[in-house]
């Protein structure tokens, strides 16, 4: 059956539905398909024009399975598997063929990246082969391989007809009862008391209407941002022009795998005897800044040969047939891009019942199958099927709604998809939006900044006269020596970090304590001034948040969370507040945080403040107000680097003064300014977990090795039953710390943990242990029915870019295992 013949919009638009899906591109069709498959048959999809008429109809149709992490790969693989079966299920031909794909490297650095990706593929069970330039030539006779350094092939990657994939999903949804109405534009999402109540629309005849619904899903593609904005929902995306070119038929082309030449920003695909080349140029053209024309439907954008020329020139050398083949189509169409090149899924923190699946960064066809499945699961079951933090809408920052910011950033993110994905790579556009009160001070002292959640953070400090730029590499980068000096200062002397980007949340009110004790696993009902390290768990015992809670008074608490998770944590707290009487306030910008860490931290504190910093006067895990210089601070005796130290929370207006006072007092003790890279290398030696990498909502708190922070005896809390159940059943896997015995290789994350010769999982995070003398990483090891001794009795290696390196394993932190230094 031809997709254009499919019936849509027959019958009356209902006045009520369980869910309304806005947008009939591949995303909306997939969400509808999966909701219907999950048994939600009373659902309606509204499309302002015709199905697929936005971005979906003109996609190139590449279906790759390999992504940067286990769960993203799981979703992409799910899509590929689904699309293979969809035609038989729905009768709509999808054109899906598993032609395989090849990625070639033209530089050693890129080759290293490809080999690292191949290791990732092996961890996630995606079939992959490393192939030589000669093998590439054998599979792609038209290709010039004279400068190809190496390549990898994924035989089960595919290509498809994108519009028909969407139509098949729509058909599958309708077969299960979903209703689809075209030429019906949603004009607004209605809400009452922060919860969705339905949508207003204008129908095909111009008639206004309303559908009452508890669940609304914004699948509006590049229209999604403005639609969300109307409801006060943050959905930061912006369209860019996206190009490909198709030749006239080329004789004897045959069936070729999809080919990616990322070093030339290009991909190639053969279809129906023609050759296609698509571009991921380094500087893209944003589109639709002034809004999108009302009658936009199956539109194309104007050709821009000048813009495409550099890509085409490379193509003529790479595949000389482009010199002679005539041009059949020059295509330019808009697609949504996001500030971090990852799409958005999940419930908007601002409005309950407002869900999102949008912003696909040119992988919406490959991504939507899995994304639709995951979102439907999330909506119907109330929780995500597995950790989706990478694409979670709660990572979006409110300021990212700003269109100038978005417009500038997406010029870069499109091209980044094919750029070298070096570790620690920083974005270059739209910088400087969020600065700490100490930014200028740090800059003047050599700080080289990186960006997280819009925050400019000092990542490392350049020496006098040293270039203040990153020189990226898969090997030691130009700041390795700076990190080493900072790291050793923290271990042997004293270092000062600006951690003002920490998220800070005040929870106050009559029920604040009871509320926090319900959402946190540790005992929060402690004496005023005590600091509690804890996790917020979900019902499965997975970790939703990793934080400290400081009791400021009988009824007031300060929660400190990573800057990147603040919106997520606020949303989790607000969602679980229920009838408890407590006020939750984001106070992040009000206080700067200076972390003074190292064995000499006490000496510096004594020099800058008259307070008592002895163990008796200021014990570990407590906070109190102190005088610093001529100002005041709240000193928290905690650490994330595994040393004696204090975190100074300073009112933003006094931050610069306190910084100067500490700096001056620290001079005679060798105080060194330190960056985030050093924070990370120190914390990994101490095996402190990092949320989003080592611990996620999928990782059980006991398996993460954080049982010491769980108090099942305190009474009920979210996740308690799952903790008790796991205690009863025993652990299935355990977090283990690894150190490479060879001091040379580096671990970042996603290297493979190899146990007795067999890959058992990824390294969840890694950095260089300058004090321990080698790369250090964390990772989970399966251990069903095994004792700790059994786990440690194995032989461990870490596979990096295909090479296996011997590793030492430990279940206790390799640095300061008894926390003697921390409590010193
Ligand atoms: C040149 C090019 C090549 C590409 N190649 C590939 C590829 O090879 N592989 C791949 O995976 N991806 C590819 N993509 C990306 C892919 O096409 C998109 O990611 C995907 O189509 C996005 O789907 P969507 O449903 O989110 O958006 P859309 O298809 O744009 O759907 C959104 C729909 O919402 C409707 N809508 C908006 N507002 C409203 C409203 N208020 N009421 C009702 N309806 C509304 C719109 O009319 C539209 O139909 C490519 C994109 C381009 C431009």
Which atom in ligand 1 lies closest to the alpha carbon of residue 358? 26
Q: Which residue(s) pair with 626 in the sheet?
A: 633
> Does ligand 1 have an atom closer than 6 angstroms to the CB of 25?
yes
Which atom in ligand 1 lies closest to the alpha carbon of residue 365? 11
The closest of 33, 113, 42, 98 to 65, measured between CA atoms, is 98
Is the model's pLDDT at 7 over the cut of 80? no
CA-nearest residue for atom 15, ligand 1, is: 362
**Ligand 1: distance of its center to the CA of 28 in Å?**
9
Question: Which among 44, 51, 55, 157 is the best mutation to test ligand 1's pocket, defined by most ligand atoms within 8 Å of the CB?
Answer: 55
What digits encode the pLDDT tens for the residues 256-314? 999 999 999 999 999 889 999 999 999 999 999 888 999 999 999 999 999 999 999 99
> Does ligand 1 have an atom closer than 6 angstroms to the CB of 61?
yes
Cα separation, 233 vs 401, whole angstroms: 9
H or E element at residue 569: helix 566-576
**242 contact partners, CB below 8 Å, separation of at least 6:** 278, 279, 284, 332, 333, 334, 335, 362, 414
Mean pLDDT of 26-31: 98
Contact between 669 and 678 under an 8 Å Cβ cutoff? The reply is: no
Q: DSSP secondary structure string, 573-592?
A: HHHH-TT---EEEE-GGGEE
Residue spans of alpha helices (H) in 202-257: 224-230
Is the model's pLDDT at 763 over the cut of 70? yes
Is the model's pLDDT at 1 over the cut of 80? no
Percent of the chain with pLDDT over 70: 99
What digits encode the pLDDT tens for the residues 458-475? 999 999 999 999 999 999
**Ligand 1: distance of its center to the CA of 27 in Å?**
7
Cα separation, 81 vs 63, whole angstroms: 10
Cα separation, 756 vs 742, whole angstroms: 18
Which atom in ligand 1 lies closest to the alpha carbon of residue 28? 25
Q: How confident is the model at residue 2 (pLDDT cuts 50, 70, 90)?
A: very low
Contact between 344 and 358 under an 8 Å Cβ cutoff? The reply is: yes
Which atom in ligand 1 lies closest to the alpha carbon of residue 336? 19
CA-nearest residue for atom 2, ligand 1, is: 59
The closest of 566, 570, 549 to 558, measured between CA atoms, is 549
Contact between 576 and 507 under an 8 Å Cβ cutoff? The reply is: no
Task: Give CA 385 to chain center in angstroms.
Answer: 16
Is the model's pLDDT at 393 over the cut of 70? yes
User: In the numeric block, which tokens belong to residue 532?
Assistant: 């509690």
Question: Which among 77, 96, 162 is the best mutation to test ligand 1's pocket, defined by most ligand atoms within 8 Å of the CB?
Answer: 162
**Ligand 1: distance of its center to the CA of 298 in Å?**
11
**681 contact partners, CB below 8 Å, separation of at least 6:** 483, 487, 767, 768, 769, 770, 776
> Does ligand 1 have an atom closer than 6 angstroms to the CB of 20?
no
What digits encode the pLDDT tens for the residues 36-95? 999 999 999 999 999 999 999 999 999 998 887 888 989 999 999 999 999 999 999 999
The closest of 486, 526, 539, 507 to 681, measured between CA atoms, is 486
> Does ligand 1 have an atom closer than 6 angstroms to the CB of 220?
yes
Cα separation, 767 vs 273, whole angstroms: 48
Give Cα separations from 232 to 177, 227, 354, 398, 733 (angstroms). Answer: 32, 9, 11, 10, 42
Return the C-alpha torsion angle 454, 459, 464, 470, nearest 10: -80
**Ligand 1: distance of its center to the CA of 24 in Å?**
9
Give Cα separations from 139 to 102, 360, 591 (angstroms). Answer: 9, 30, 60
In eight-state DSSP terms, residue 402 is -
**Ligand 1: distance of its center to the CA of 335 in Å?**
7
pLDDT of residue 8: 57
Which atom in ligand 1 lies closest to the alpha carbon of residue 50? 49
What digits encode the pLDDT tens for the residues 480-532? 999 999 999 999 999 999 999 999 999 999 999 999 999 999 999 999 999 99
Cα separation, 122 vs 126, whole angstroms: 6
Is the model's pLDDT at 11 over the cut of 90? no
Contact between 31 and 21 under an 8 Å Cβ cutoff? The reply is: yes
Can you list the positions of beta strands (E) in 519-658? 531-537, 543-551, 556-561, 583-586, 591-597, 623-628, 631-636, 645-651
Mean pLDDT of 340-344: 97
Q: Which residue(s) pair with 805 in the sheet?
A: 798
Question: Which among 365, 413, 414 is the best mutation to test ligand 1's pocket, defined by most ligand atoms within 8 Å of the CB?
Answer: 365
Question: Which among 187, 344, 360 is the best mutation to test ligand 1's pocket, defined by most ligand atoms within 8 Å of the CB?
Answer: 360
Cα separation, 659 vs 671, whole angstroms: 12
> Does ligand 1 have an atom closer than 6 angstroms to the CB of 258?
no
Is the model's pLDDT at 175 over the cut of 80? yes
> Does ligand 1 have an atom closer than 6 angstroms to the CB of 363?
yes
Which atom in ligand 1 lies closest to the alpha carbon of residue 243? 1
pLDDT of residue 3: 40
What digits encode the pLDDT tens for the residues 617-670? 999 999 999 999 999 999 999 999 999 999 999 999 999 999 999 999 999 999
pLDDT of residue 6: 52
Contact between 556 and 511 under an 8 Å Cβ cutoff? The reply is: no
**506 contact partners, CB below 8 Å, separation of at least 6:** 556, 557, 558, 559, 583, 584, 585, 587
The closest of 169, 232, 233 to 23, measured between CA atoms, is 169
Cα separation, 741 vs 413, whole angstroms: 37
pLDDT of residue 353: 98
Question: Which among 62, 66, 219, 364 is the best mutation to test ligand 1's pocket, defined by most ligand atoms within 8 Å of the CB?
Answer: 364
> Does ligand 1 have an atom closer than 6 angstroms to the CB of 333?
yes
User: In the numeric block, which tokens belong to residue 520?
Assistant: 């946190």
Burial class (CB in 10 A: 0-12, 13-18, 19+), 305: exposed
Residues comprising the chain, all counted: 824
> Does ligand 1 have an atom closer than 6 angstroms to the CB of 45?
no
Question: Which among 13, 101, 223, 246 is the best mutation to test ligand 1's pocket, defined by most ligand atoms within 8 Å of the CB?
Answer: 223
Average pLDDT, the chain: 96
CA-nearest residue for atom 35, ligand 1, is: 23
H or E element at residue 796: strand 796-800
Question: Which among 9, 221, 260, 363 is the best mutation to test ligand 1's pocket, defined by most ligand atoms within 8 Å of the CB?
Answer: 221
Which atom in ligand 1 lies closest to the alpha carbon of residue 361? 19
CA-nearest residue for atom 21, ligand 1, is: 56
H or E element at residue 371: helix 364-381
**572 contact partners, CB below 8 Å, separation of at least 6:** 519, 536, 544, 545
> Does ligand 1 have an atom closer than 6 angstroms to the CB of 257?
no
Q: How many helices (H) and strands (E) does the chain have?
A: 19, 38
**Ligand 1: distance of its center to the CA of 25 in Å?**
5
**Ligand 1: distance of its center to the CA of 101 in Å?**
23
> Does ligand 1 have an atom closer than 6 angstroms to the CB of 62?
yes
> Does ligand 1 have an atom closer than 6 angstroms to the CB of 370?
no
Contact between 560 and 550 under an 8 Å Cβ cutoff? The reply is: yes
Rounded to a whole number of angstroms, the CA Rg of the chain reads 27
Cα separation, 329 vs 309, whole angstroms: 15
Question: Which among 13, 23, 246 is the best mutation to test ligand 1's pocket, defined by most ligand atoms within 8 Å of the CB?
Answer: 23
């Amino acid at each position: 059956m031809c997709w254009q013949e499919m019936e849509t919009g027959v019958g009356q638009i209902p006045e009520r539905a369980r869910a309304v899906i806005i947008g009939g591109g591949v995303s909306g069709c997939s969400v509808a398909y999966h909701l219907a498959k999950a048994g939600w048959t009373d659902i309606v999809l509204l499309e302002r024009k015709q199905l697929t008429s936005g971005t979906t109809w003109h996609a190139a149709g590449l279906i790759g399975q390999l992504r940067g992490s286990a769960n993203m790969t799981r979703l992409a693989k799910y899509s590929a598997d689904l699309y293979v079966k969809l035609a038989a299920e729905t009768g709509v031909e999808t054109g899906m063929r598993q032609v395989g794909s090849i990625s070639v490297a033209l530089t050693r650095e890129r080759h290293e990246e490809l080999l690292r990706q191949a290791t990732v593929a092996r961890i996630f069970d995606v079939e992959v082969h490393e192939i030589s330039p000669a093998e590439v030539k054998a599979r792609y006779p038209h290709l010039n391989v004279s400068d190809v350094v190496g390549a990898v092939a994924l035989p089960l990657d595919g290509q498809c007809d994108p519009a028909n994939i969407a139509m098949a999903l729509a058909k599958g949804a309708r077969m299960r009862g979903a209703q689809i109405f075209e030429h019906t534009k949603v004009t607004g999402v209605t809400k009452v008391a922060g919860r969705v109540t339905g949508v207003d629309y204008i129908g095909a005849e111009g008639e206004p209407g309303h559908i009452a619904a508890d669940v609304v899903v914004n699948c509006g593609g590049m229209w999604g941002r403005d639609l969300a904005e109307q409801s006060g929902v943050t959905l930061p995306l912006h369209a860019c022009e996206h190009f490909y070119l198709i030749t006239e038929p080329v004789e004897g082309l045959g069936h070729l795998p999809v080919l990616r030449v990322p070093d030339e920003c290009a991909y190639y695909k053969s279809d129906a005897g023609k050759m296609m080349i698509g571009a991921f140029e380094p500087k893209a053209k944003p589109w639709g800044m002034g809004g999108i024309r009302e009658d936009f439907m199956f539109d194309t954008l104007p050709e821009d040969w000048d813009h495409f020329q550099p890509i085409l020139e490379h193509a003529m050398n790479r595949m000389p047939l482009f010199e002679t083949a005539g041009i059949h189509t020059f295509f330019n169409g808009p697609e949504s891009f996001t500030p971090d090149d990852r799409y958005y899924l999940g419930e908007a923190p601002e409005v309950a019942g407002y869900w999102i699946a949008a912003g696909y960064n040119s992988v919406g066809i490959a991504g939507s199958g899995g994304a639709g499945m995951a979102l439907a699961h999330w909506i119907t079951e109330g929780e995500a099927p597995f950790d989706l933090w990478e694409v979670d809408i709660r990572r979006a920052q409110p300021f990212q709604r700003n269109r100038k910011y978005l417009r500038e950033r997406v010029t870069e993110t499109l091209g980044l998809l094919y750029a070298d994905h070096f570790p620690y790579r920083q974005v270059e556009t739209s910088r400087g939006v969020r600065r700490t009160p100490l930014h200028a001070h740090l800059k003047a002292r050599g700080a080289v900044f990186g960006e997280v959640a819009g925050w400019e953070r000092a990542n490392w400090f350049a020496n006098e006269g040293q270039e203040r730029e990153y020189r990226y590499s898969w090997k030691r980068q130009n700041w390795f020596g700076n990190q080493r000096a900072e790291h050793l200062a923290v271990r042997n002397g004293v270092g000062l970090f600006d951690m003002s980007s920490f998220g800070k949340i005040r929870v106050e009110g009559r029920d604040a304590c009871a509320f926090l004790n319900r959402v946190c696993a540790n005992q929060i009902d402690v004496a005023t001034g005590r600091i509690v390290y804890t996790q917020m768990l979900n019902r499965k015992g997975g970790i939703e948040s990793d934080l400290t809670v400081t009791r400021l008074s009988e009824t007031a608490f300060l929660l400190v969370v990573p800057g990147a998770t603040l919106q997520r944590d606020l949303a989790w707290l607000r969602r679980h507040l229920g009838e408890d009487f407590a006020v939750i306030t984001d106070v992040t910008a009000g206080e700067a945080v200076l972390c003074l860490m190292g064995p000499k931290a006490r000496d510096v504190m004594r020099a800058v403040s008259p307070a008592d910093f002895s163990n008796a006067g200021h014990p570990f895990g407590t906070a109190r107000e102190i005088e610093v210089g001529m100002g005041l601070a709240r000193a928290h005796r905690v650490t994330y680097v595994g040393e004696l130290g204090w975190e100074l929370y300073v009112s933003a207006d006094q931050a610069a003064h306190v910084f100067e006072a500490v700096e001056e007092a620290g001079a005679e003790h060798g105080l060194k300014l330190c960056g985030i890279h050093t924070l990370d290398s120190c914390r990994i030696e101490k095996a402190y977990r990092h949320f989003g990498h080592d611990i996620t909502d999928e990782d059980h708190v006991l398996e993460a090795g954080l049982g010491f922070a769980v108090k099942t005896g305190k009474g009920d809390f979210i996740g308690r039953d799952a903790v008790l159940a796991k205690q009863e059943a025993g652990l299935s896997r355990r977090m283990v710390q690894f150190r490479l015995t060879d001091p040379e290789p580096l671990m970042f994350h996603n290297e493979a943990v190899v146990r007795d010769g067999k890959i058992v999982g990824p390294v969840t995070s890694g950095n260089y242990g300058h004090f321990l003398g080698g790369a250090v990483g964390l990772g989970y090891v399966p251990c069903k029915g095994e004792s700790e001794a059994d786990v440690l009795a194995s032989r461990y290696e870490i596979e990096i870019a295909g090479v296996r390196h011997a590793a030492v394993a430990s279940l206790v932190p390799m640095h300061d295992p008894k926390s003697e230094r921390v409590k010193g």
